[in-house]
Structure 1
């Protein structure tokens, strides 16, 4: 992975976040602590740029301190999700992302930072298509925070989006599926996968190390246990909405 030759003269502005420590903005870039997954993420982001997908930041390399340098994208991140792009448009953006990653061939020595085991490995997906990772409002809509990208399935990503963007509201989940162009059979599979996706987060908070144990102690475990229970209870209403 190459060294970035740009300037680091601008002041560093901490960006916060619950999971990634040391995340800062420097001018028109974001600097992220690098890890074993960084070369694979860099290769993925380079591929997305090469195939013309604008919904992700450019990866620029490593700075002089060994941090991953990615493009800063101006805009707004809202959580809980409030109207920016419609949920239909979010579904369309997810579809375009998966169409772009379908042709990606990972490096033979790729290491990924995925933290929850997915339901398959059909293609490389984002793994965190959430409202807190969608930048919008300045002429561009883009997914950010790619450190947990890795092999997965389209429905795995969509199940997470159904929880984050639609908050399990049946009409919202239907809009996501409509925007994605999901066929009927896969809509049934999506509804069945949503509770498993939520329980994966519960298990991570219960058994994972840092930062997950800290987040669990701060109340995130109770929150996700509630979401998982809602996901189970919502199945009949979600099926009715998605198959209407």
Structure 2
């Protein structure tokens, strides 16, 4: 077998490696759904996701390798990059809208479409990876998370809320969000921040091995709560940009 090169990008699934022009990932409880989803995306002509190529003799998923860059950390992005991310998310949702996999829900959501799960090609978001948390849902679940992780930041080095709010509008425009949904967008971001803190907190009560050590988990909880407090304090600014 060709050499295995460890890959980074996603924070949750360990043991992801590149083998030639493929990626091998440990199978999870969601592997069957992911295989069906990636097959459906391919049939619909959506190119912003890897292809599922089956399983290897070790039981790992085999995915096509997508060349490009996956950011290791959140950072500030340009308006064109944010717009490209919003357009990519809309294309993904549209490819699943009304499908059997979406069931009674409007679409299949990625549920973690942050920069760390996005492949950049020539500096522009081109594809999503790590579909382990994909499931039927409401588009606002993904949009709320994307607004937060691509546009909003409580860091002292981040630009003022007015600048961040303008970028929230860039994302909403690129996605093609209607007026009724725009009025729910900030609430969707706040909800994802609280859910993220709750998700990490639930792992503190789980036996080892955990997805991260207690110190890192505690840090992610504090960060999520800090981001929620910042978004809440500036929600009028974010809402006003979406009018």
Q: TM-score band, normalised by the shorter chain?
A: 0.7 to 0.9
Q: Residue by residue, what CA displacement relative to the aligned partner does 1:34-65 show, whole Å, maximum 9, x if unpaired? A: 01210111000000001100011101111110
Supply the distance in 2 between the matched residues of 1:122 and 1:225 (Cα, whole angstroms): 29
**CA RMSD between the two structures:** 2.2
Indicate yes or no: 2:92 matched with 1:100.
Answer: no
Aligned equivalent of 1:143? 128
Aligned equivalent of 1:13? 5
Question: Counterpart of 1:44 in 2: which secondary structure?
Answer: helix
Aligned equivalent of 1:31? 24
Supply the distance in 1 between the matched residues of 2:201 and 2:239 (Cα, whole angstroms): 29
Q: 1:141 deviation in Å?
A: 0.8
Q: 1:143 deviation in Å?
A: 0.7
Supply the distance in 2 between the matched residues of 1:58 and 1:215 (Cα, whole angstroms): 36
| CA contact 1:10–1:27 (8 Å) conserved in 2 | yes
| CA contact 1:206–1:213 (8 Å) conserved in 2 | no
Structure 2's unaligned 5+ residue stretches are 154-163
Question: Counterpart of 1:86 in 2: which secondary structure?
Answer: helix
- Report the number of matched residues: 224
Indicate yes or no: 2:158 matched with 1:163.
Answer: no
| CA contact 2:79–2:170 (8 Å) conserved in 1 | no
Q: 1:231 deviation in Å?
A: 1.9
| CA contact 1:205–1:215 (8 Å) conserved in 2 | no
Supply the distance in 1 between the matched residues of 2:22 and 2:121 (Cα, whole angstroms): 18
Supply the distance in 2 between the matched residues of 1:36 and 1:101 (Cα, whole angstroms): 21
Q: Which moved more, 1:217-226 or 1:87-96?
A: 217-226
Supply the distance in 1 between the matched residues of 2:221 and 2:142 (Cα, whole angstroms): 21
Q: 1:107 deviation in Å?
A: 9.9
Given the superposition, is the C-alpha separation of residues 10 and 133 from structure 1 closer, same or farther in structure 2, using an over 3 Å criterion? same
4+ long deviations beyond 3 Å: 81-85, 212-218
Question: Counterpart of 1:188 in 2: which secondary structure?
Answer: helix
Aligned equivalent of 1:132? 116
Aligned equivalent of 2:83? 88
Q: 1:146 deviation in Å?
A: 0.6
Aligned equivalent of 1:54? 47
Q: Please, what TM-score do these two structures have when normalized by structure 2?
A: 0.85
Structure 1's unaligned 5+ residue stretches are 1-8, 109-119
Aligned equivalent of 1:229? 229
Q: 1:218 deviation in Å?
A: 5.9
- Of 33, 39, 45, 1:40 maps to 33
- Of 193, 197, 208, 2:192 maps to 197
